[in-house]
A and B are shown apart, each in its own frame.
Chain A
Amino acid sequence: SKRTMAFTKASKDQKYDRQLRLWGDHGQEELENAHVCLINSTASGTEILKNLVLPGIGAFTIVDGHKVSGEDVGNNFFLSNNSIGRNRAQAATELLQELNTDVSGNFVEEVCVFNYEHTCLRLGSVLWNANIPFLVCRTYGLVGYMRLVVKEHTVIESHPDNALEDLRLDQPFAELKNHIQSYDLEGMGKKDHSHTPWIIIVAKYLEKWFSEHNFQFPKNYKEKEAFKQLIRQGILKSEKGTPEDEENFEEAIKNVNTALNPTKISSGVDDIFNGEQCNDITSQTPTFWVMTRAVREFVHNDGGGNLPVRGSIPDMIADSEKFITLQNIYREKAMQDASVVSKHVESLLQSVGKVCETLFCKNAAFLRVVRCRSLAEEYSVETVNKDAITSCMDSADGEMVLYLMLRSVDRFYQQHSRYPGVYNYQVEEDISKLKLCVNSLLQEYSLNVNVKDDYIHEFCRYGASEPHTVASFLGGSAAQEAIKIITRQFVPFNNTFIYNAMSQTTATFQL
C-alpha cells in the first residue's frame, strides 16, 4: 500500500540519513538500483562489499570457487571458523547479507582467477566491449592497488570544489535587467537600502561603472579595487557624515571578485560539446549525450553562446521579500532555459531521456567525461604509457616502483605458478628469480629505469600476503570509487591508484 511504502521510505531516510547528506535521494536511488559483481571473496573483496552493502546497494553477486581456508578466516571478518571447507562465495554471502536486509545477496560457485594478468586482460576486454565499469582491486603485502577500466563514464554531478556562482552580471538576461532597473538605490529609504541584496548592488554599480568606463568590465586587480571603492562610496552616511553600518554593502564588496567572473563555457565542457558522441545522435545514444547535444543546441541557438542559467543564488543579507523575488528571477529563468533544452531533446529523439533536464542544466558547467585506457592498451608494448612510467620513476621511492613490482610478481607467477616468497624457505632464491622478472619486464617495455633491490626483497617478503588492515583501507577506497561510479556523482580517479601502507602515501597514474 501507499502507506507502507511511505513508511519504508521514512525508515530508510532515517537509516541512511548521514549518507543522504552526501549524495542525496537520487544518488541513493541509483545505489539501490545497482547490482555489483565481486570476483573472489578475499579479505579485500568482502571489505569492499561490506562498504557497499551498508549504504544499501541493490544487489551483489559473488563469484568464487574456493573453499574457505584457515588463512581466510584469519584475515577475513566475513568468514568464520565454522565455514572452513565450505564454498567461500556462499559463506561470505551469508554473513554479508546479514548487514543489511534491504540488499539482495547472491553467489556463484565458480573458479574465476587462475592467472591474474591473463584473467584481468580477458575479463577487461569483455567488460570494455559491454561498457561495464571494471575495478581491479588488490592488496599485496603492504601495497594497495586499484585500476579503473571503463571506456566512458559520464558525470553530471561532479560536485566541484569552489564552483563560482552563475549570476550573469556581465550579461544580464532580460528579466534580471528589468528587475535591476526596478531598484532605485538613491531614492529608497534607509531600511530598504540596507536590505537590498548584494547582487543588485553590484549590478547597479556596474551600470555606473560601464557608463564611466566605455562599457568595459573591471578586469584587473586595480580596476576591481576601484570598483569596490565605487560601491563603498554608495554606503549611506549619517547626519554627521560617517558611513552607516550597511552589511549588505560590505557583502557586495566582499563578493566583487567572484561576481565579476565573466560568463563563459569552460574548456572541459567545450571539449565535451565538440566530441563525436555529441555530433552523431542515434536512437542508441546514451541519455547523457542526447542531453549534452540539446544543451549545445541551446548554447548556439537560444543562449547567445552561454549555458542555461543555473538558477541558484547564494544566501545573502536581504529581507525575505527582496531575496525571494531575486531568487525567483534566477529560478524561473533556469526553468525556462531547461524547458528550451527539453524541446531540443524532444526534437533530437522521440523518447526523452530519464535524466531530469533541470538537474542536467544546473550542472551543465561541470559535466565531466572520464575515459580510461583499456587494460590491453596498458599492457601492450606498442601502447604502454612509457612516458608516465619513466617520469614517475624519477623519484626512485615513489609509488610507481610499486606498480612495476606488482607487474613483476605477476610475471613471476606466470613462470613459476606461484608468487615469490610464499614459502619462507624459498625467499632467498625467489629474490634472484624475481629480479630476473623485473629485468625482463623493463626490457620488454624498453623502460630505462632503475628498480632498487630493496623493493625486490620487500616483495618477496610479502609472500602475496593480504594483511587485514591494508585490505580495510583498500575496501574503503574501492567502495568509494564504486559509489562514485554508481551514483554518477563526483569524479572517479583515472585510472591507476597505488597505496603504500608503510609510508601511508598514495598516488594516481594514468597508465
Chain B
Amino acid sequence: MVTLQLVGSLRKELADSLSTCRLLVVGAGGIGCELLKNVVLTGFKNIEVIDLDIIDVSNLNRQFLFQKKHVGKSKAQVAKESVLQFCPTANITAYHDSIMNPDYNVEFFRNFMLVMNALDNRAARNHVNRMCLAADIPLIESGTAGYLGQVTVIKKGLTECYECQPKPTQKTFPGCTIRNTPSEPIHCIVWAKYLFNQLFGEEDADQEVSPDTADPELSWNPADTETRATASDQDGDIKRVSTKAWARSTGYDPVKLFNKLFKDDIQYLLTMDKLWKKRKAPLPLDWPEHQKLTCPQGVTGMGLKDQRVFGVAGYCQLFSRSVETLHSMLADKGDGAEEWIWMGNCDDPPAMDFVTAAANLRMYIFSMNMKSRFDIKSMAGNIIPAIATTNAVIAGLIVLEALKILSGDVEQCRTIFLNKQPNPRKKLLVPCALDPPSANCYVCASKPEVTVKLNVHKTLVLALQDKILKEKFGMVAPDVQIEDGKGTILISSEEGETEANNCKFLSDFAIRNGSRLQVDDFLQDYTLLVNVIHCENLEKDVEFEVVGDAPDKAPAPTRSQEEGKNVANGNKESSEPSTSSEAPAEQNDILLVDSDEEVPSSSTMAVSMESGGHKRKLHDAETGEASAKRQHLSQPSADDDNDIIALD
C-alpha cells in the first residue's frame, strides 16, 4: 500500500524538500492561479512564475487572483502580488515574459527541482517539454477544457515525453478554399479574420482574401489568364496594391468596401467558371440602398444580442457600423496601428462585430447557414469553455503528483483524466500508468531522427525553416547543416549569416532524395537529423509530409472523453501530457501529504512503515506533523473538519 508509505513516515524529509524545492510554474491563467494557491499552502517556498499574458475581463470568472481593477496588467505580476497578500512568507519571482524567450535557457531550467505547466498552447508545451528534457527536470503537464481535464508527469528516460505521441496537426485551410471556394462556415470565419488583419492590422501575405487566380483547380489556359489580367488591370479594384492601401484611399468607406468584397470580388470569382461546375455558385450581394438605414431589432448601440442570427440586412448594418468604429479607432491609434493584429482576441467587441458581419455575409453569399455572434466567437477564437471548478480539481491533482515526485515515487505517478461526470463504471477520475518513452520519438529518443517528404525543387529554405522546423518541429532558432561532406550551413540562427538563402530552393543547395540535414536548436539543446525524401506528387496544398506522422486530417481531439483519450486544454490546444523527470537524490519512497504553513521543527521521524516498526516517537508531537493537523491540545473540542453545505 503506497498510501501508507507516503503518508506515514518521513514527513519531515518531504516537508524539508518542499521548503527547499525551487519550483517553476509556467502560466498564471486558469490552472496557474489555482496552482499558485495550492503550492504555497502545501509548503512550497521558492516559486517562480512566468506568463506573457495580460489580464482580460473574461478571465475573471475563474482566475481568482485577479480582479476587475487588474484588467490590462501582467498576469504573472498580479498573481504574485495577490498570493503574497495572503501568504506573505512565500518567496515568489514573477516574469512577465514568454517562456520561449532565449533568456530562459537550459541553465535557467536547471535551477528548478520541478516544473509545472499550466499552459494553453502547444507551441509553448513543446518547448517546455524540450527544455525539461534537456535540463533533466521533471515536468507536470496539465490542461482543462470545460468540464474535462488532464494531468500527467514527464520524466526523461522513464516516461513518454509530451511529443512522443504525434498529435493531430492543427487544422489549417488551403488558401484557395479560403479565397475562392469556402464550403463550411469556418472557411468564411477565417476569411473574415484575415480581412480584419488586412484592413486594420498587419498585412500578411499568407492571409490574402482576394480571389486566387492560381487555384490549382483552374488550370488556366494562358490566353485566358492574359485576358483576365488585362481585365483586372482595367478594373483597378481587383488588382490592388494592397487591400489596406486601397481601403485607405476610399477613406474606409463602408459601402465601397462592401461592394468590393461582397459584389465585385464575387463577380470576379464567378468568371472562374471551372470552380462552379460542381459547386453551387456564389451570389454577389448588392449594398441594400433601398433599405432604410435603421438598425434591425437587436442591433443596438450595445452591440448584437449574442446568440441570435440576423438577416442579411442586419449584417450589412453591422458591417458598416463596425468598419466605421474600427476606422476611427485606427485613426486614433495613429502610427501604432500596425501593431493591431487579430490575436484571437474575441473579447474586443468592435473587432468581433466586424468578423461576425463579414463572415456571415460571406456565408450568405456561399449559401451557408449564418451563425450567431456567440458561435462565431467560439470558432474564430477557438474559444474553449472554462470554469473555476475544473481548474480547481486539476490543480489539486497536480500538487499530489508533485508530492509523489518529490518523495522519489515517480513510478507511482499517473496520467489522470477528469471526466464530465462519473463514467459508466462510476469513475469521475481515470488514472492510467505512465507509458515508457517511445523509441521513435523525434524529441526524446537518444538520437532523434525524422523523415520528411517534400519537393526539393519547390520548397524554399525559408519554408523549411518556418513551416517545417519551427512550426512542425517546434524549434525556436534552428541551425541547419547539410551532411554533404562539406558541412554546408544552410540556415544559421545568427542574424545576417544565411538570410540570402531564404528565397532559394532546397535543390539549389544540392539537396535531393536521400539528403540528410543536421538541425540544431541551441536553446533547446536539441539536435534532430532530418532525412529528406524527394516527392513530386504530394497532395494538393500539402507542402511536406512527415513519414509516420499522424495524418494531417486527423480529427480534432475528441471532447467526449472515453477513458484514455486526450482532452483539449486551456485555449487552442490539445494537451497530451507526459515527460521526464529525475528523482532528486535525497528522496526516499515516502511521501508527506499533510501540508501546512508552519515549518516542522527539526526533530526527525525515522520510522518507516514498511520496516514494520510502529515505533513512532512521542516527541513527534512537537514536530510539524502535529501542527499540520487540524486539532490541537488547545482546542480539544473543536470539530471543524466537517463542512456541510446546504443549497437553497
Contact = CB atoms under 8 A, between A and B. Distances in A.
10 smallest beta-carbon distances between A and B, as pairs: A476-B392, A473-B396, A45-B643, A476-B393, A74-B597, A468-B41, A472-B396, A74-B596, A21-B385, A469-B399
B422 interface: yes
Contacts of A218: none
B61 A7 contact: no
A171 interface: no
Interface stretch (B164-172, B250-258, B299-307, B509-517): B299-307
Which of A423, A470, A504 neighbours the largest number of chain B CB atoms within 10 Å of its CB? A504
Given A10-B303, A17-B347, A54 B616 contact: no
B621 interface: yes
A17 B389 contact: no
A490 B61 CA distance: 20
B383 to A, nearest CB: 7
Given A418-B631, A473-B396, A476-B392, A39 B641 contact: no
A194 B276 CA distance: 13
Nearest to A422: B631
Contacts of B34: 472
Interface string A34-53: 11111111111101101100
Interface in A91-105: 98-101
A351 B137 CA distance: 66
Interface string B394-423: 111101110100000000001010001110
Interface string A174-201: 0000000000000000010011000000
Interface in A449-472: 452, 454, 457-458, 461-472
B630 A71 contact: yes
Interface string B582-595: 00000000000111
Contacts of B61: 15-19, 54-56
Contacts of A471: 396
20 contacts: A18-B387, A19-B386, A20-B374, A21-B378, A45-B645, A71-B628, A80-B86, A119-B642, A119-B644, A319-B367, A321-B367, A457-B614, A463-B631, A464-B631, A468-B41, A469-B42, A476-B391, A477-B428, A493-B428, A504-B414
Interface residues on B, range: 35 or more
A214 interface: no
B637 A417 contact: yes
B54 to A, nearest CB: 15
Given A136-B642, A476-B394, 12 more contacts: A17-B377, A18-B386, A19-B385, A74-B628, A75-B595, A116-B639, A136-B645, A466-B630, A469-B403, A471-B396, A486-B647, A503-B2
A245 interface: yes
A465 B64 contact: no
* Most chain B CB within a 10 A radius of its CB, from A119, A123, A319, A480: A480
A133 B3 CA distance: 34
Interface stretch (A137-145, A273-281, A291-299): A137-145
B597 A73 contact: yes
Contacts of B414: 504
Interface of A: 3, 6-7, 9-11, 13-22, 25, 34-45, 47-48, 50-51, 54-56, 66, 69-71, 73-78, 80-81, 98-101, 112-116, 119-120, 123, 127, 132-142, 161-162, 191, 194-195, 244-245, 315, 319-321, 323-324, 397, 413, 417-419, 421-425, 427-428, 431, 452, 454, 457-458, 461-480, 482-483, 485-486, 490-491, 493, 497, 499-509
Given A425-B618, A468-B595, A477-B389, A18 B628 contact: no
Given A18-B61, A48-B645, A473-B392, A504 B400 contact: yes
